[in-house]
Structure 1
Amino acid sequence: MTDFTGKTALVTGSVQGIGLAIAQSLAGAGARIAVHGLAGDAQIEEACALLKAAGAPQAEFFQGDLRDPDRIDDLMTAVAAWGGVDILVNNAGIQHTAPLAQMPVATWDTILAVNLSAAFHTMRAALPGMAERGYGRVVNIASVQGLVASVNKAPYVAAKHGLIGLSKVAALEYAAQGDRTVGGVTVNCICPGWTQTAIIEPQIAERLPAFDGDRDAVIADLLKEKQPSRRVSDPAEFGALVVWLCSPLAHNLTGASIPVDGGWTAQ
């Protein structure tokens, strides 16, 4: 049920972190991977090599500035010509922390563009083809910040809340497409809590002086505030979840926002 041979997956932000881990899991199930992200030639080559080693019959890099709708259209057109998008994972995201009154307007605009509007543009391009084929999966990587809020993260929280709402609308509009055998078309969100990725590094760095440079102590301090399990997630865990969500077995799971947060949002 997790054989994606003949399927093409586009994972935005897949040159590192959660995106790369998701791409590796999909590659391991036989999917062709359209790689995307901000990286130099060496990192791109390394990511594509990792994905082929994981089992992808093909892994090719596609450019696309997610701040620019025209460049997103170019990205989606190029991937469509390469074989179409059967699985779309909107993973790319950026964050900047500052009090609301001090948040630069340009930063607000950029975070909303990358974390929310880009998903609208990719879904708008991909979903009609999925409906025609009777199978399609959109997995949007939201955040616990799409379910609850934190101070100093106004654009990030707004974007992730919006992404969950956008996903619910798309899930409803495409819920009746396809059937159980083929798999149908589903749209879901995954909402990570604290995860060992580059996006948390600025928050770790900010607290390091207070803990005499003890990185483990800083992470423990971050976790105890929000995440009852006091364990960070590993990016590979999200890869396994995406593979299951993309299987035909998950044909009736749509419009959901799945927290992987050690109990954060259960409080």
Structure 2
Amino acid sequence: MRGLKGKVVVITGGGGGIGSATCRRFAEEGARVVVADISEAAAGKVVAALSAGGTDATAMVADLTDYQATAAAVARTEAEFGPVDILVNNAGWDLFVPFLKSEPDFWSKIVDINLRAVLNITKPVVASMVARGVAGRVVSIGSDAARGGSSGEAVYAACKAGVIAFSKTLAREHARNGISFNVVCPGVTETAMLESFMEAAGDKEKLRTAFTRAIPMGRLGRPDDLPGAIAFLSSDDAAFITGQVISVSGGLTMHG
């Protein structure tokens, strides 16, 4: 894809399933990759694999729910590795808990990880883009739970809906800066988070079968299904696309 070679891309949750797959895809496109994760070990493992393949890569270890720590990590990364051209907001977490069985402490954790963290890293990254006059790209990972609802994920769905509204608003605020903001919504995808979600729901295999039957393409998503859409929206091929939401769900949702 055009315009990715040599660009500095930060991928949050880069040590996880979708995150690491996205890191690999940007590496294939010749980008310089910042693997951002709360786990130093997870980030380091991905960086080592990318570096072994010849990619210029580094880790950014930070708790994205802490604004000051996140802003400091972004500043340090830009000083040591280079200014950020592309931000992929991928980090997230959830458990299956019906709303009436959940408690405020659980809500706070879900909101902090899935919404506040996006705000915390987007502000310093976009402020730097604006100051430099760079036509940057921000791609956030939403969820089809935000578009159609999902039982047992009320607060998570609300957060992801917030990410969509946040992205559309910033797309308007920064259109004249040439910075685009788009959202990719995975459907049911085979990740560690999905495994934890199904464990919490009980009868994991029955739930897996139900999910599979509901998807027109007849299988659950895989981490490697997402990076193509993310890379496209980050590329020069998508220079005139902003404020948009695309589902990668095997047809589970088909929004106009």
**TM-score, structure 2 as length reference:** 0.90
Q: Which amino acid aligns with 1:234?
A: R
- Residues 1:122 and 1:208: Cα distance change in structure 2 (over 3 Å): closer
Q: Which amino acid aligns with 2:123?
A: R
- Residues 1:123 and 1:239: Cα distance change in structure 2 (over 3 Å): same
In structure 1, C-alpha distance between the alignment counterparts of 2:141 and 2:236, rounded to whole Å? 20
| TM-aligned CA deviation for residue 9 of structure 1 | 0.8
In structure 2, C-alpha distance between the alignment counterparts of 1:194 and 1:81, rounded to whole Å? 38
Is 1:220 equivalent to 2:209 in the alignment? Answer: yes
| TM-aligned CA deviation for residue 258 of structure 1 | 0.4
Which segments of 5 or more consecutive residues in structure 2 lack a partner in the other structure?
Answer: none
Q: Of 185, 188, 206, which residue of structure 1 is paired with 2:182?
A: 188
| TM-aligned CA deviation for residue 70 of structure 1 | 1.7
- Residues 1:115 and 1:208: Cα distance change in structure 2 (over 3 Å): closer
| TM-aligned CA deviation for residue 97 of structure 1 | 1.9
Contact 2:85–2:134 (CA under 8 A) maintained in structure 1:
no
- Residues 1:208 and 1:99: Cα distance change in structure 2 (over 3 Å): closer
1:199 counterpart residue number: 193
In structure 2, C-alpha distance between the alignment counterparts of 1:255 and 1:2, rounded to whole Å? 20
- Equivalences, count: 253
1:97 counterpart residue number: 96
Work out the percentage of aligned pairs sharing the same amino acid.
32
2:229 counterpart residue number: 241
1:78 counterpart residue number: 76
Contact 1:28–1:54 (CA under 8 A) maintained in structure 2:
no
C-alpha root-mean-square deviation of aligned residues, in Å?
2.0
| TM-aligned CA deviation for residue 209 of structure 1 | 4.6
In structure 1, C-alpha distance between the alignment counterparts of 2:110 and 2:2, rounded to whole Å? 34
**TM-score, structure 1 as length reference:** 0.87
Q: Which amino acid aligns with 2:7?
A: K
Is 1:232 equivalent to 2:199 in the alignment? Answer: no
Contact 1:90–1:141 (CA under 8 A) maintained in structure 2:
yes
| TM-aligned CA deviation for residue 156 of structure 1 | 0.3
In structure 2, C-alpha distance between the alignment counterparts of 1:25 and 1:129, rounded to whole Å? 25
| TM-aligned CA deviation for residue 130 of structure 1 | 2.2
Is 1:116 equivalent to 2:127 in the alignment? Answer: no
2:241 counterpart residue number: 253
1:47 counterpart residue number: 46
